Structure 1
């Protein structure tokens, strides 16, 4: 499997010919180290992992946040392999493993902990997009080029799996006093790294919560209670994000889109209905008013159904001038927005859900309100009393779970595939049926996963076949994930 080979770390060794007894000290350029360090490995990893979560294509389309009017095959469930994402995550996983190795070599347990957090996140991305994937035997280089595909249940719950890695990270960060890297997100703030690890732990515990009775390695309810007792994200200052910059290659990718491509990206009917119904101020930040409404002197916002073919768009009378595009935050300047891997509002909604579903104790109503307020505040807005107390938003015990998941869906705007994963897990918020559903093997149904990359059949054929046999006998996008609803 070519993806398991060692990644290139990109270190340049500079040599200058000289005759001296102090050759090593005189002829070594300190600006070009010859040995990898955790610090050197961490920066490109953070940049790639976080910016990769700024998903305004597949993730936002599957979540029904956005609707594209062209090149929208994934929205129509005509899934492919998503091979580029697979390849990238295995490259990241390789470099994370290298970071673990050099952290242990240099006796830097806090760096090791950070690598465990990133490994847990990367492993979750892989298994949540494809199901069973190589994990425990992955990135061993020449020692094992045909790793076994591990069951999703094991990737989450076994020793060395996602939950265990995050517990190890908390243990190391809470008890170590070594110096952390001055990283590009938290600037070496130990507490913020602890909060991220524990918050991710809660995210993934809730992700597998539908399968609590099948987990033998730990008690899910106890794990959730323990995670919620530890430091977690509390404010937007704890968010795991990178602000885009004015210069390439760190500019907002939407700013650099060709005008024709940008015009394909539109507001979805579903998010339009929610934002307009509740007069949600985030609407004016995320989207632009329709062209015709501006010309008529009365700004309004409108969407279109997700996943429409050109024929269907014609039939429903689609007009570009009557449907909203993305707003100035993303298009007018290259450095106005941020790429977000996890935000504190998600954490509040996770805690509220855990309480409502009986996995934890606490005040779900307060957490729900805090989640809304933090999401608004992230965009420089205020969750007014009028917004919070209106019917549909004001917390009601009878509809608490639906309300929590709806507001969480909004808070996950442009956060990877997270809102899509939540929909697969809970069915909330409910999605409109596609007018052009191109699911190849289950017409009208919602798929669950991407196809495996084609080169897996050639390079890791035996284990690939074993994995698909275990998941129903064919490489099928409709095969349910283990944690799915």
Structure 2
């Protein structure tokens, strides 16, 4: 606005301008309330919050929770996703999340450039490492859900307007390199002060950021098991990650000025009903969480489960999640996930004693999530009476089903990725009941965002009519893109 006003100044003021130097004019036209250069310590805070709230806990998680039957979509867009009408193939469905990820990746790129050699904050190794770890997390989320996406030519506004799509295989190489680079930078002595309370995840504790990064290495190494099984590496990375739930990477909410995204989604939309198939898995195991996960909808007062794939489109009838709380955290990565990764890796190496110990740790931690509230004793009793017999019969099946249950509901995207990986590997151990799946209408991926479908010919050609989401698996799940 200041520049426009300068152009519209009266002739009298214009006469005075002729005597001003160019530098003076540049100073006059600066908007001190809109700085062109912001310190990385300020940008990184927003990048952390966006990574958790706007990406990990976003529409991506809401739709994933429907596809893997943590929830049943019973109204509007979620209902359409449930019955596979429109939403799974529409370019508008995930557009907000698509835009958020690319904006966040751009902001993280700014930080990386500032803190790298030749940048204005060269030597700020720890902030650089955090930005690299978050970039890996955001980029992996993007390609895990969408497959081949613009990357090497992306994030160059004003220079490249229609970036090409990179192959997922190449993107994963970059993800793992980013994590290695982050760890290397965490191991360096930084000449810049700690982020302190501007770090909403770890309060500037770089040792914990390093553990988070090793956890991501374990996650994404496991993700590539169909293409390159490296279970010893998964275990090695996981052993350098979280030692307890106190160390896990999560964004907390105070319940007033900051509210958990699943709770916000319920209060704003009320689009979910309690999943019959998830209920059945808990019931089969005599799992005490069956009395904790759900409650009657306040409008009906009755406990009514929603049938997967065939609910009535109605609000205020089906039971709802009881762990959707204002203060329920969003996990970038949990301790129980790390232990589940170890348990699966040990099972695949036929080291069942170690697998059992890791599985016990995982289940115990999952029982004690803040919005579950069961005790360690509850978990041990359940593990010995109900989990071990099933583990003895089929170790992989029980590890993955326990992980699937534990991930309700904040970790739905990871559950969705696990399911697709397992099916691709011939381990279809998690039973889903939506009849649309057997009619070849299980969404194998999410669509590209409409912002680029309408403006980038490369993305538009890859999108086509959107029906590819049912037929083309992502690369790490056995597809070509």
Please give the range of the TM-score, normalised by the shorter of the 2 chains.
0.7 to 0.9
Match of 1:304 among 306, 328, 336: 306
Could you tell me whether the CA contact under 8 Å between 2:125 and 2:185 is conserved in 1? yes
**Could you tell me how far 1:378 is from its partner in structure 2?**
1.9
Could you tell me whether the CA contact under 8 Å between 1:37 and 1:103 is conserved in 2? no
**Could you tell me how far 1:31 is from its partner in structure 2?**
10
**Could you tell me how far 1:282 is from its partner in structure 2?**
3.0
**Could you tell me how far 1:362 is from its partner in structure 2?**
7.6
The answer to whether structure 1 residue 423 and structure 2 residue 419 are counterparts is yes
Residue 27 of structure 2 corresponds to which residue in structure 1?
none
Residue 173 of structure 1 corresponds to which residue in structure 2?
186
**Could you tell me how far 1:462 is from its partner in structure 2?**
4.2
In structure 2, how many angstroms separate the alpha carbons of the residues matched to 1:416 and 1:369?
21
In structure 2, how many angstroms separate the alpha carbons of the residues matched to 1:256 and 1:425?
30
**Unmatched tracts of structure 1, length 5 or more:** 1-27, 214-219, 296-300
Could you tell me whether the CA contact under 8 Å between 1:451 and 1:477 is conserved in 2? no
Q: How many residues are treated as equivalent by the alignment? A: 423
Could you tell me whether the CA contact under 8 Å between 2:238 and 2:338 is conserved in 1? no
Please give the per-residue CA displacement for 1:281-327, whole angstroms capped at 9, x wherever unaligned.
333443215779978xxxxx6522223253xx7xxxx9966x42122
Could you tell me whether the CA contact under 8 Å between 2:231 and 2:348 is conserved in 1? no
Could you tell me whether the CA contact under 8 Å between 1:288 and 1:326 is conserved in 2? yes
Bigger helix share: 2
In structure 2, how many angstroms separate the alpha carbons of the residues matched to 1:402 and 1:484?
18
- What TM-score, normalized by structure 1, do the two folds share? 0.78
Could you tell me whether the CA contact under 8 Å between 1:402 and 1:429 is conserved in 2? yes
Residue 84 of structure 1 corresponds to which residue in structure 2?
96
The answer to whether structure 1 residue 407 and structure 2 residue 383 are counterparts is no
In structure 2, how many angstroms separate the alpha carbons of the residues matched to 1:461 and 1:293?
49
Q: Does the C-alpha gap of structure 1 residues 136 and 226 become closer, same or farther in structure 2, counting only changes over 3 Å?
A: farther
**Could you tell me how far 1:88 is from its partner in structure 2?**
1.1
**Unmatched tracts of structure 2, length 5 or more:** 1-29
Q: Does the C-alpha gap of structure 1 residues 66 and 99 become closer, same or farther in structure 2, counting only changes over 3 Å?
A: same
SS at structure 1 position matched to 2:320: coil
**Could you tell me how far 1:339 is from its partner in structure 2?**
1.8
Match of 1:75 among 82, 86, 97: 82
- Please tell me the root mean square deviation across aligned C-alpha atoms, in Å: 3.3
In structure 2, how many angstroms separate the alpha carbons of the residues matched to 1:359 and 1:169?
32
1:211-226 to 2 correspondences below 5 Å: 211-212=227-228, 220=230, 223-224=233-234, 226=236
SS at structure 2 position matched to 1:341: strand
Q: Does the C-alpha gap of structure 1 residues 459 and 257 become closer, same or farther in structure 2, counting only changes over 3 Å?
A: closer
The answer to whether structure 1 residue 65 and structure 2 residue 62 are counterparts is no
Q: Greater CA deviation, 133-142 or 276-285?
A: 276-285
Please give the per-residue CA displacement for 1:184-236, whole angstroms capped at 9, x wherever unaligned.
110001111001101011101101111117xxxxxx4564354245x201211
Could you tell me whether the CA contact under 8 Å between 2:201 and 2:251 is conserved in 1? yes
The answer to whether structure 1 residue 344 and structure 2 residue 340 are counterparts is no
- What TM-score, normalized by structure 2, do the two folds share? 0.78
**Could you tell me how far 1:456 is from its partner in structure 2?**
3.1
**Could you tell me how far 1:446 is from its partner in structure 2?**
1.6
Match of 1:119 among 103, 110, 135: 135
Residue 22 of structure 1 corresponds to which residue in structure 2?
none
Q: Greater CA deviation, 187-196 or 96-105?
A: 96-105
Could you tell me whether the CA contact under 8 Å between 1:234 and 1:344 is conserved in 2? yes
**Could you tell me how far 1:40 is from its partner in structure 2?**
0.5
